[in-house]
Amino acid sequence: MSTSSELIYDLEVTTIGSLVGEFTAAGIWVFFHERAPSEIAEFAILHRAEPPQRPIIPSQILEVGDEQYVIQAVGDVANNNVRELGHLVLKANGLTEPELPGDVCIEARPLPEPTVGTRIRIWMSTGEDAS
């Protein structure tokens, strides 16, 4: 992203659960903060991050390495989940209305295989109101 874009959220992947590859193939990533209970670790991407600087909303840009995805929809409880638990359900399904209240929907494109150390960032889009 350009240096004039505002960074909303920045997380670093610390652990990849054994089922994450299957979820990735289905276009779904389930994130939890690295302090999450061990029973979650099997299907989750655990990460280290501070809470988002602003709410996550449609039109923001999700960046994974060199890939960028436009956020299309954000469920009613998604921002509270990410702020309180570091829990984010990311779905690359292209929906403009989330299926579930915790979903964050992005463009329907393949997700890359996450690796430990991957940085995932959300940026304010250039047309977004910064107030």
Q: pLDDT tens track of the chain, all 131 residues?
A: 544 589 999 999 999 999 999 999 999 999 999 988 888 889 999 999 999 999 999 999 999 988 999 999 999 999 999 999 999 999 999 999 999 999 999 999 999 999 999 999 999 976 545 44
- Report whether 81 contacts 87 (CB < 8 A): yes
What pLDDT is recorded for position 36?
Answer: 84
d(CA 33, CA 41): 10
> How far apart, in Å, are the Cα atoms of 29 and each of 16, 35, 125?
10, 17, 22
Buried b (16+ CB within 10 A) or exposed e, 97-129: ebeeebbbbbeeeebeebeeebebbbbbbeebe
What pLDDT is recorded for position 3?
Answer: 46
What pLDDT is recorded for position 126?
Answer: 64
Q: What is the largest CA-CA distance in the chain?
A: 41
Task: Sketch out the chain's domains with CATH numbers.
Answer: 7-123 (2.40.33.40)
d(CA 105, CA 23): 15
Helices (H), the chain: 20-25, 78-85
